[in-house]
């Protein structure tokens, strides 16, 4: 293999580039990214980035240096890649392994890594000023600026998932009045199951954030100046709002692959080695639907990139991705960590700590076996059990 193109210049794309070089690939490497920024880390965008005081060099691109940067000048020199940033891939010709860019250029290479991630779902209808989604650095900057416009604002967060909850917590920490609207009777049930979701949902109330569940959103109301004034709920209620953040999930960024012939459907369909039906095309990260499942987690994006690249260089699925799913979330000063594969019906059991202290470790069990782990503010025992779950050994040593 003499030339590889990576589409998507974020976490999975960067880790793919790193893995290529680390695995000895010394051919041409091209990385295409729609955003103008160098790879940066998204998780802080809903957490520290929103709450951090403005710095003197606030105008400097924090994706280039600063705490968000995923790479630095030294590493970039070592990667020896051509970076085509601020440029979107618009089509893929699988037969010739050619990627068309919105600049009109076409890149034809031996191998292709698809790492275009995901984009937030939006509410139907117009999005007035003051309404936000949160995926990119530019999104986060716009939200940050809106939150800093004056005194306490009325913030309505639509969607009580992890990102919504983190944004709500950050806004509450900034002194704003926050309400979270969740269509389901309880947020996070699909991820955590009912009883554990209930414990996490209590964090909102602990911090004076209103949680309105079981009602959808009909639309946003705007004033004459085009700024949002209220959120209209499906049950007819109106919630006044100065700032609205919609966090109702993401869609894998596969639009540009329509018509390419690659199997799509909730992401790019790949085998357990992140390989598409065409061995020279692999996928990793939020865009990849790997062996029947799609992950939207930081750790999966990094791990899948290494597997995908290994198989790309091997020309076949030589290695499969079997890592234990893992994610974390920080809300209201509580660190939530989850690992494993929970299925509906698995029974969570608190094995350490207490929900009243917002500090506990729970095991999910099925037929006497542990399937998943959840911890609130219990990083150490969580990590030990997570390792056990990832590498089960009949006779634990050490």
Partner 1 sequence: MIPVCHLADLPAGESVRLDTTPPIAVFNADGELYAIDDTCTHQDASLADGWLEGCLVECPLHAASFDLRTGAPTCLPARRPVRTHPVTVEDGMVYVHRTAEEDTAA
Ligand X SMILES: Cc1cc2nc3c(=O)[nH]c(=O)nc-3n(C[C@H](O)[C@H](O)[C@H](O)COP(=O)(O)OP(=O)(O)OC[C@H]3O[C@@H](n4cnc5c(N)ncnc54)[C@H](O)[C@@H]3O)c2cc1C
Assess contact for 113 and 312: CB atoms under 8 A. yes
Exactly one of 6, 132, 137, 298 binds ligand X (CB under 6 A); which one?
Answer: 298
Q: How long, in residues, is the chain?
A: 398
Question: At residue 394, what are phi and psi to the nearest 5 degrees?
Answer: -60, -40
Pick what 256 binds: partner 1, ligand X, none; C-beta below 5 to 8 Å, kind-dependent. ligand X
For residue 81, state whether it binds ligand X (rule: CB under 6 A): no
For residue 334, state whether it binds partner 1 (rule: CB under 8 A): no
Show the CA angle centred on residue 34, arms to residues 103 and 37, nearest 5°.
Answer: 120
Return left, alpha or beta for 342; rule: phi > 0 is left, psi -120 to 50 is alpha, else beta: beta
DSSP state of 358: T
Exactly one of 8, 33, 44, 247 binds partner 1 (CB under 8 A); which one?
Answer: 44
Distances (CA, A) of 64 to 60, 134, 138, 141, 174: 8, 19, 13, 15, 26
**And the tokens for 68?**
């968000």
* Selected range binding partner 1 among 23-31, 173-181, 209-217, 297-305, rule: CB under 8 A: 297-305
List the one residue out of 108, 135, 111, 133 whose CA is nearest residue 122: 133
For residue 245, state whether it binds ligand X (rule: CB under 6 A): no
Q: Which residues contact 356 (CB under 8 A, 6 or more apart)?
A: none
**CB closer to partner 1, 46 vs 229:** 46
Pick what 253 binds: ligand X, partner 1, none; C-beta below 5 to 8 Å, kind-dependent. ligand X
Least Cβ distance, residue 272 to ligand X (angstroms): 18
Least Cβ distance, residue 16 to ligand X (angstroms): 9
Pick what 251 binds: ligand X, partner 1, none; C-beta below 5 to 8 Å, kind-dependent. none
For residue 46, state whether it binds ligand X (rule: CB under 6 A): yes
Exactly one of 163, 281, 361, 373 binds ligand X (CB under 6 A); which one?
Answer: 163
List the one residue out of 219, 103, 200, 108 whose CA is nearest residue 156: 219
Exactly one of 380, 391, 393, 396 binds partner 1 (CB under 8 A); which one?
Answer: 380
Least Cβ distance, residue 270 to ligand X (angstroms): 13
**CB closer to ligand X, 211 vs 301:** 301
**CB closer to ligand X, 46 vs 371:** 46
* Selected range binding ligand X among 10-18, 57-65, 211-219, 308-316, rule: CB under 6 A: 10-18
* Cβ atoms within 10 Å, residue 152: 13
For residue 382, state whether it binds ligand X (rule: CB under 6 A): no
List the one residue out of 174, 178, 180, 179 whose CA is nearest residue 150: 174
Q: Which residues contact 73 (CB under 8 A, 6 or more apart)?
A: none
CA 234 centroid distance within chain: 28
For residue 7, state whether it binds ligand X (rule: CB under 6 A): yes
Distance CA(276)–CA(304), nearest Å, equals: 13
Exactly one of 17, 147, 239, 301 binds ligand X (CB under 6 A); which one?
Answer: 301
First and final C-alpha spacing in the chain: 43
CB-based burial of residue 232 (10 Å sphere; 0-12 exposed, 13-18 middle, 19+ buried)? middle
**CB closer to ligand X, 123 vs 233:** 123
For residue 327, state whether it binds ligand X (rule: CB under 6 A): yes
Exactly one of 19, 118, 153, 376 binds ligand X (CB under 6 A); which one?
Answer: 118
Pick what 292 binds: ligand X, partner 1, none; C-beta below 5 to 8 Å, kind-dependent. none
For residue 233, state whether it binds ligand X (rule: CB under 6 A): no
Distance CA(355)–CA(195), nearest Å, equals: 11
**CB closer to ligand X, 227 vs 328:** 328
Helix (H) or strand (E) holding 170: helix 162-173
Contact residues toward ligand X (CB under 6 A) are 7-13, 32-35, 42-43, 45-46, 88-89, 115-118, 134-135, 163, 253, 256, 285-287, 296-299, 301, 327-329
Residues that bind partner 1 (CB under 8 A): 18, 43-44, 48, 67, 70, 72, 75, 298-299, 302, 328, 335, 337, 379-380, 382-384, 387, 398
């Amino acid at each position: 293999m003499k030339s590889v193109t990576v589409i998507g210049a974020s976490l999975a794309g960067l880790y793919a580039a790193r893995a290529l070089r680390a695995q000895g690939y010394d051919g041409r490497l091209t990385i295409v990214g729609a955003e103008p920024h160098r790879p940066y880390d998204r998780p802080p965008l809903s957490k520290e980035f929103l709450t951090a005081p403005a710095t003197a060099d606030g105008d400097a691109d924090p994706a280039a240096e600063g705490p968000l940067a995923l790479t630095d000048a030294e590493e970039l020199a070592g990667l020896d890649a051509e970076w085509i940033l601020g440029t979107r891939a618009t089509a893929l010709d699988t037969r010739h392994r050619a990627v068309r860019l919105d600049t009109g250029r076409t890149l034809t290479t031996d191998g292709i890594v698809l790492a275009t991630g995901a984009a937030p779902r939006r509410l139907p209808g117009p999005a007035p000023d003051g309404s936000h989604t949160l995926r990119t650095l530019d999104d986060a900057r716009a939200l940050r600026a809106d939150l800093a416009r004056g005194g306490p604002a009325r913030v309505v967060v639509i969607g009580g998932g992890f990102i919504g909850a983190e944004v709500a917590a950050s806004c509450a920490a900034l002194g704003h009045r926050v309400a979270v609207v969740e269509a389901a009777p309880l947020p996070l049930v699909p991820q955590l199951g009912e009883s554990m979701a209930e414990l996490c949902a209590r964090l909102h109330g602990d911090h004076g954030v209103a949680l309105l569940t079981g009602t959808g959103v009909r639309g946003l109301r705007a004033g004459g100046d085009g700024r949002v004034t209220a959120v209209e709920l499906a049950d007819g209620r109106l919630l006044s709002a100065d700032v609205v953040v919609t966090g109702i999930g993401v869609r894998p960024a596969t639009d540009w692959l329509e018509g390419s012939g690659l199997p799509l459907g909730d992401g790019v369909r790949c085998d357990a080695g992140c390989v598409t039906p065409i061995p020279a095309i692999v996928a990793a990260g939020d865009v990849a639907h790997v062996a029947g499942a799609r992950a939207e987690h930081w750790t999966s994006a990094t791990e899948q990139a290494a597997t995908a690249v290994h198989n790309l260089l091997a020309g076949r699925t030589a290695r499969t991705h079997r890592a234990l799913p893992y994610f974390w979330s920080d809300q209201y000063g509580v660190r939530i960590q989850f690992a494993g594969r929970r299925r509906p019906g698995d029974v969570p059991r608190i094995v350490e700590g207490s929900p009243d202290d917002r500090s506990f470790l729970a095991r999910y069990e099925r037929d006497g076996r542990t399937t998943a782990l959840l911890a609130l503010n219990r990083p150490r025992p969580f990590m030990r059990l997570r390792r056990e779950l990832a590498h089960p050994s009949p006779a634990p040593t050490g």
